[in-house]
Chains A and B, each alone.
Chain A
Amino acid sequence: MNNNKKIIIQTIFLITGVIFIVRLFFLQVIETSYKEEAERNATRKMIQYPFRGIIYDRNGKALVINQLVFDIMVVMNELNIPDTNAFCSAFNLTKNELHQLIRKIKEEKGYNKYRPVPLLKQLSVDDIGKALHIINTCEGIYPQERTIRIYPHKSLANALGYIGEISKKQLENQEENYYEQGDLIGISGIEASYEKYLRGTKGVRYIMKDVHGVEKGPYLGGKMDVASAPGQNLICTIDLELQKYGEWLMQNKVGSVVAIEPSTGEILALISSPSYDPNLLTGRYFSKNFDTLQKDPLKPLFNRATMAMYSPGSIFKVAQALVGLHLGVLTPNSIKPCNPEAVGVKCHPHPSPTDLKGSIQWSCNPYYYDVFRSIIYKGGTSQNKYKQTETNYDIWRSLMVKFGFGQKLEVDLPNIKAGFLPTNAFYDRIYGNLSWKHSTIRSLDIGQGELLVVPIQIANLACIVANRGFYITPHLVKAIGNDEKKMILTRFTEKKYTGIDTAHFNRVIEGMELVVRHGTAYWTQIPGINICGKTGTVQNTQSIKEKGDDHSTYMAFAPKDNPKIAIAVYVENGGFGAVTAAPIANLMIEKYLTDTTTALTRYMRTQILQKDLIHKAKGEYR
């Protein structure tokens, strides 16, 4: 009997053990959801942000660097500030502000007193240095490193662009699923167009956390971690010195300057004025500053060099002459009288009649009335005038397209405009099919009318002329990569030919040479440099109400043989092309080619620097 009871008791022990083991088998071996839940519980995915690539100018000067800043992190449940007064003065806060900051942290969604959160953001190394001894007396407060973009030279704001938090739309539309909410992305300029190279590769680190979310070392000894790879550096085509010089000359003026090395298509300077200090759009005051810039009526965020559309004005005569020569309606020796009254255009006094050279030198309007008219009516009779107009216009247009007009140049900047080169269909829509002729579209003679270009297209035209027939797509980045292996995008090595004979270019260039030597821009010539240029004065059609001065434009390249620089300048309300745009361009050419000044050019520079078109336009001047 008692032996029985002993066995029963031992059996109860055994059965209990077996039940446990079976239960554990189900819990541990069969059921798998616990493993996942455990992983969710105790691990946290930490994104390792890579260093964004640095951008240098063509001479190795840094245009954009990363700067170390510090966030002051606080863990609320450990927070202990022994001397609030000292703390506040170390961080330049009032007690009230400190309390507000802390209250804000506590009201944050998902507030957790065990998790570090930023109390103050993006303090400089200096700020931290001053406050470090105070931080060390506190508990639950520590500085955390981060990097922000810094622009040491404050130049080139619009071309460089800025970075900011990725937008919801961009997040939804991204192709490769790389970005997450809160990630920084290039929003404009080079920062945007080279985003893929600059950003590097995010790393990921799995860490273990405890029940409070406090970090507890690497998960699985860091086996699953992926290190971040820093972004690639960019070597820019920009010559920082030239850029700064140009920005200086453009002060108090609205407009743009584009300078390109013709043989390579490398953009040496890209100026949009007025500009802004790019450092305004980094760091903790981004939104405030962005707001101010966006509300500025002079639109400093608007990159005029690639986005502002103007009539080309008389500069277009260069293209007209080349197309005319190409189509055979014009020879270098074609002599035409300057007869404004007869053809119904204005001109300014100059020697008449002129040949092709002279027409460019003096920018003769009636000459180009005749050139374009000849192009349009080429081979036509009075019977098929309208038909021939459309055919010839089409031929003319397709040649103009080869000059880069009417299309977006594939410049490595986002948001470039195509300008406008009207099509047959466009005129048909306005005037009706086969019911327009040269006199209908004659504004095009001298680059006015419906035709619109962006300044970089004019700089590109200067390149084509300088190269005697081809261009390489203007671009801002020479090379991509860190140290040894650098690469260049192939689309920036391809020569795009206009198909127009080199000899024709040489004739036109002779005219452009005379423009500076004896012609419209003679007063801007730089001793010792053989500059070929063309002035333009664009009728200000944009502000009809309060008719402002005409826009001053100019394009040039130098030296005449083996040109090193081609340039286009637009100055809104700058008046006659030779008055404002030409001296700026030629001073920049001087700067780039010689890096010196003469008494003459210094005088010219003073004249230019004194021009204040912004405040005059507002009526504040004088």
Chain B
Amino acid sequence: MIRREDKLIKNIDWITVACYSILVFIGWLNIYAVVYNPDPEVKQNIFDLSTNSGKQLLWIASAALIIIFIFSIDYKFYSTFSYLLYAITILILGITIFLGIEVNNSRSWLGFGDLRVQPLEFAKITTALVVANYMSDINFKLNGWKQYLSVSLLVLAPCVLILLQKETGGLLAFSSFIIVMYREGLPGWILLLAVIMVSLVLVTLMYNKIYVALFILILGGLTIIAMTLFSKRTRNVSIFRRSIMITAVCLAMISVVYSVDFFFYKILQPHQQKRILILLHPELDKKNEGYQINQSKVAIGSGGLWGKGFLQGTQTKFDFVPEQSTDFIFCTIGEEHGWIGSSFIIGLYVFLLSRIVWLAERQKDRFARIYGYSVASILFFHFTINIGMTIGLFPIIGIPLPFFSYGGSSLWAFTILLFIFLKLDAHRKELLAH
């Protein structure tokens, strides 16, 4: 028994644990920096439980307990009970629609007395587990539309419920499963197509639709001409067929361009429309909707190369940036630690993500590998959208920066997400036998 535990400790990937710990620790310091009051008369304590930094320390301590708990239960539990956990998640998400506490027009939080939990944070974990379990079936091969659809349905089910909670921000993280599917067999062009579509929508919103359509047509025409001119060896029929295909793609793209309006104005809610428009035209509205993104950029931009120094920030302390401890925590790094500090954090994330991918790839067990990729993808999406939003590359979508943002729900959820994978990784040799 003792030997087994020794072995477990030896097999844990301590590099990932170290990355996790550093991020959590720096996150905690930054939350303190946000609540810190520079008035010398106010004796402030980072451990003060009435402030966010004190509370975050409680969340961190409880996260440590959760980690011990995760490591102490059988690694087979996660695959075996994935469907049950998934079902419970779906149920809770459903209940939340009706019993949730209304915050900013959405009902995504469940309250138990003082404790508030956002079930969708945990839904990502169970969805990842169920997707991994489903796809790791010996008979399953992700090689056709039927399979794509069935996996997508597993992901979409919680999404629909979250949409009903009107918490669209949290929804986006679920699109990260496209990376998992790509790794497991989804052709690259679908991924590419998805990227192109998103870019197309953004370009359409930025520029006049006619110019975008003309640009697509010219690009298509040039491709066809180039093909005819430079591939003489190919048979004429082939060139003709390819030309038709290119024309079809162009027309499809143009139809997307013209349907953006419908999608944009009919599907999206007004505040979401605004957020996207402000991202594309930040100068339009500096006072109200554009205020947040502008203040976020001011805070980060004022940090300079080296930053103002720990606890020396002014923008992030004095409420200029809203949601400072949670969604906009990266501003504190930007302001107080400058470009150097920001780059370090970004580097640390990229390293952690790559490390998780590397760990996933060394799994012989498909379940562990797919789950590992899910972890990496979910963290990547949060990382990208969150930081992208604070530096004005993405619209404002209220999702936390993993391990960094203030809040028990998100810290617990990301901790569980990551450490289930580390548990599986620690048992990778036994999984092979299994």
Contact = CB atoms under 8 A, between A and B. Distances in A.
B407 interface: no
Interface stretch (A7-15, A258-266, A426-434): A7-15
Given A14-B354, A28-B305, A208 B342 contact: no
Main secondary structure of the interface of B (DSSP, over half): helix
Interface string B289-328: 0000001011111111100000000110111100000000
B183 A2 contact: yes
Contacts of B39: 216-217
A14 B303 CA distance: 24
A19 B40 CA distance: 40
A16 B183 contact: no
B314 A21 contact: no
A140 to B, nearest CB: 18
Nearest to B349: A17
Interface in A34-75: 34-35, 37-39, 41-43
B384 interface: yes
A25 B300 CA distance: 10
Nearest to A10: B354
Which of B179, B297, B339 has the most CB atoms of chain A within a 10 A radius of its CB? B339
Interface in A410-458: none
Contact of B298 (A8, A9, A24, A41): A41
Given A10-B357, A27-B391, A38-B314, A5 B183 contact: yes
B28 interface: no
A297 to B, nearest CB: 56
Contacts of B383: 16
A346 interface: no
A103 interface: no
Interface in B107-156: none
B350 interface: yes
Interface residues of B, number: 49
Contact of B38 (A20, A33, A216): A216
B284 to A, nearest CB: 17
Interface string B364-395: 00000000010010001001100110011100
B301 A20 contact: no
B298 A34 contact: yes
A209 B393 CA distance: 29
A215 to B, nearest CB: 8
A400 B40 CA distance: 69
A296 interface: no
Contact of B334 (A9, A17, A24, A212): A24
B350 A28 contact: no
A42 B391 contact: no
Given A28-B300, A38-B314, A208-B318, A21 B346 contact: yes
Contacts of A41: 295, 298, 314-315, 320
Contact of A42 (B303, B314, B376): B314
A29 to B, nearest CB: 5
Which of A17, A37, A217 has the most CB atoms of chain B within a 10 A radius of its CB? A17
Contact of B40 (A27, A35, A42, A217): A217
B303 to A, nearest CB: 5
Contacts of A218: 38
Contacts of B335: 38
B170 interface: no
Contacts of A211: 318-320
A23 interface: yes
B182 interface: yes
B350 A16 contact: yes
B145 to A, nearest CB: 20
B224 to A, nearest CB: 28
Contacts of A109: none
A28 B298 contact: no
Contacts of B346: 17, 20-21, 24
Nearest to A33: B301
Main secondary structure of the interface of A (DSSP, over half): helix
A29 B334 CA distance: 11
Interface string B171-206: 000000001001100001000000000000000000
A21 B342 contact: yes
Nearest to A11: B354
A29 B339 contact: yes
Contacts of B318: 42, 208-211, 216
Contacts of B183: 2, 5-6, 9
Nearest to A15: B350
A20 B373 CA distance: 22
B16 to A, nearest CB: 15
Contacts of A108: none
A483 interface: no
B33 to A, nearest CB: 14
A387 B295 CA distance: 86
Interface in B325-374: 334-335, 338-339, 342-343, 346-347, 349-350, 353-354, 357-358, 361, 373
Contacts of B380: 12-13, 16
B354 A216 contact: no
Contacts of A21: 339, 342-343, 346-347
Contact of B354 (A2, A8, A13, A25): A13
B314 A28 contact: no
Which of A9, A19, A216 has the most CB atoms of chain B within a 10 A radius of its CB? A9
Contacts of A10: 353-354, 357-358
Contacts of B376: 9, 13
Contact of A17 (B298, B304, B339, B350): B350
B45 interface: no
A23 B357 contact: no
Contact of A13 (B334, B353, B391): B353
A218 B41 CA distance: 11
Given A23-B393, A29-B305, A217-B39, A37 B384 contact: no
A458 B302 CA distance: 69
B37 interface: yes
Given A42-B315, A210-B318, A28 B354 contact: no
B301 A27 contact: yes
B297 A210 contact: no
Interface string B395-413: 0000000000000000000
B304 A29 contact: yes
A19 B388 CA distance: 9
Given A24-B334, A38-B298, A9 B38 contact: no
Interface string B244-277: 0000000000000000000000000000000000
B301 A31 contact: yes
A208 B36 CA distance: 13
B391 A24 contact: yes
Interface string A213-252: 0001111000000000000000000000000000000000
Contacts of B40: 217
Contacts of A9: 179, 182-183, 357, 373, 376
Given A10-B357, A211-B318, 16 more contacts: A6-B361, A9-B373, A10-B353, A20-B393, A24-B339, A27-B334, A28-B334, A34-B297, A34-B302, A38-B314, A38-B315, A42-B320, A208-B38, A208-B317, A210-B317, A216-B317
24 contacts: A6-B357, A9-B373, A10-B354, A12-B179, A13-B376, A14-B354, A16-B383, A23-B393, A24-B342, A24-B346, A24-B391, A28-B303, A28-B342, A29-B304, A33-B301, A35-B304, A38-B298, A38-B314, A38-B315, A42-B320, A208-B317, A209-B318, A211-B320, A216-B317
